[in-house]
Amino acid sequence: MWRALVVGVPVGVTLVDCCGYVARVEGVSMQPTLNPDVSGSCDFVFLSRWRWRSFVYQRGDMVSLISPKDPSQKIIKRIIALEGDLVATLGYKRRVVRVPEGHCWVEGDHTGHSLDSNFFGPVALGLVTAKASQIVWPPQRWQRLESFVPEHRLPLNLREISRASDLGETPDMTDIEE
């Protein structure tokens, strides 16, 4: 029995550290993507650590991170903007923020019901611990979690590019202030 424990514990720790783990998601900040039922049931998601070991981040990824306000708490939010992007904030101390190097801007899908970057500002990428890749419980909600940024929350610099490409034009970025 001791031999199984001596081998099993390090193997289990390595799997969790390298591959990922299942976590319970509570609260309404990611509704309707997670916990859409208001009855209080919680979704369980698989948090993939494998992809994040290379520090590859994309706008729209739903990630687990250490809360900048309470390091003992982990939260799940969506990456809205990456370093260098301009973000129109929702109640932050400045109306427009350029995300600094080594940081990202995260928000909950349930706008106005989430403690996110609109409350605490840009988040250091070092606080991101994993990507939420699929809902694994309850069984009727098994699904892969898609990466997307809602159109109304696109970074300002990407809105200009998106709008111009829709019209077949080259965007004019001279109007954006630092």
CA dihedral sign, ordered 68, 30, 105, 102: positive
Beta bridge mates, 87: 97
Q: How confident is the model at residue 119 (pLDDT cuts 50, 70, 90)?
A: very high
Closest CA relative to residue 61, chosen from 69, 52, 70, 53? 52
- Distance, in Å, from the CA atom of 115 to the CA atom of 108, rounded to the nearest integer, reads 8
Q: Widest CA span of the chain, in angstroms? A: 69
- Distance, in Å, from the CA atom of 11 to the CA atom of 14, rounded to the nearest integer, reads 5
34: part of which helix (H) or strand (E)?
Answer: none
pLDDT in tens, 22-36: 888 888 888 888 888
Q: Report the CATH fold assignment for 22-166.
A: Umud Fragment, subunit A (2.10.109)
Q: What pLDDT was estimated at residue 175?
A: 37
Higher-pLDDT residue of 75 and 9 is 75
Q: What pLDDT was estimated at residue 171?
A: 43
Q: What pLDDT was estimated at residue 52?
A: 62
Q: How confident is the model at residue 42 (pLDDT cuts 50, 70, 90)?
A: confident
Mean per-residue pLDDT, 150-168: 70
pLDDT-wise least confident of 8-17, 32-41, 78-87: 8-17
**Is 54 a residue whose pLDDT tops 90?**
no
Report the number of secondary-structure helices (H) and strands (E) in the chain. Answer: 3, 10
**Which one is catalytic: 29, 114, 117, 133?**
29
Cβ neighbours around 89 below 10 Å, total? 16
Active site residue 131: no
Q: What pLDDT was estimated at residue 161?
A: 55
Beta bridge mates, 64: 76, 130
pLDDT in tens, 88-108: 999 899 999 999 999 999 999
CA distances from 53 to 20, 122, 127, 129 (A): 11, 21, 13, 9
Q: What pLDDT was estimated at residue 138?
A: 83
Domain-by-domain residue ranges, the chain?
22-166
Active site residue 29: yes
**Is 12 a residue whose pLDDT tops 70?**
no
**Which one is catalytic: 64, 77, 114, 117?**
77
